[in-house]
Structure 1
Amino acid sequence: MAHIDYYLGTISPWCYLAGDRLERIAQEHGATITYKPLDLMQLFPRTGGQTPGERHQSRKDYRMQELARWRDRLGVEMTLQPAHFPVNMAPSSYAIIAAQQDGSGDTGGLVQGFLRAVWAEDRDISDDAVIREILTAAGFDPAIADKGLFAGAEQYGRNLEDAVAAGVFGAPFYVVRDSGQTFWGQDRLDFLAEHLAAG
């Protein structure tokens, strides 16, 4: 059985555009997923990149065009300039880590809930009340937000180190542990599916 490490940022528009395709691909091919939220703003400079705010204006302009194109291509609701962006990714990431360890709800749905809150609902995912609502909607005890705080913080830091060691430099980034194959971007999910199908 193949296993996929999914490196993500809870405010990444590209992770939002991925939707639930990874989960559907994994189900189809009998693969498992470990969700590994991390601090993208630390990842970029450590792997030769720049944070979005530091990039040249031409890259910022192109990014906005591409987001609009993919929004329209995928037919998803998306606010290109959300009310709460960027915000601190740590609290929502801690919640995902704690929820995954708990295992009582839908972790994929939780990840998508946070991303949808930013990009389609204009909600602040660094706000404790919002985090609790999204946990509840995904079938988790909202108290996880408090109980998993310490363990979540530790794992969040480890996820960044794991990402750098695995060659991750952006998000979404998918690493197939068994083969060592890596896939960067929501537009590479078809390649991931083909790789899993090939066994």
Structure 2
Amino acid sequence: MTAINCLVTSDAVHLFTDAGQADPASMRLQAISSKVALLPEYNAVFAANGMTFVEQLFRSVIAQSRFDDFDALVSAFPEVIKRAIESGTHYGMPAVWPNCEIILAGWSPRLDVPAAFVFASYDKFIEKRVKQFIRPSISGLAFDPQDIERSGFALMCKQRDTHFPVEDPNEGGFIKSKSMRRVVHGFCQHTVVTRDAISTRLLERWLDAPE
């Protein structure tokens, strides 16, 4: 589990993400690394939750393909996901990705607007355009369009301080037990995509270390 928060405004897409990579076998913190992949050739970025180190799989598939622009990449992304999943099986990853959500964000040259799309496993990775996306869901805080960076950082801090139910992958039987765990680790990264550029920076580093 991880934090991916997205807000689309009239002139940009904003992503706020953490950096914790969990071992799927134990759900322990395995590594600290950015979860945002930059695609400057399409003026786009993407991030995923639910799986570990999937950014490399997607970057490899995209690098072996060619798309006219961001809009073409969005249209082809379900096939990109399919190929990434197939590629992952060669490295010991499962053939089915449960509870996985992927955000693809960028500037649409066709519409001349910023846009963000969610591709979720529970929706069979069908494209869904969003204006706002907050994971893990949390109450009491929201983006402030007048101060996006401050409110996005506050949202991430609230997510970090909250413990969420996480399924125990080692629990046998048909019913998996869940334990309450912190799921936001590493650092808070703010990434912005505008018509002309991609920018990203760290807002805060947390004293987490792989277990």
TM-score range, shorter chain: 0.3 to 0.5
TM-score, L = length of structure 1: 0.33
Instruction: Compare the two structures and name the one with the higher strand fraction.
Output: 2
Instruction: Compare the two structures and name the one with the higher helix fraction.
Output: 1
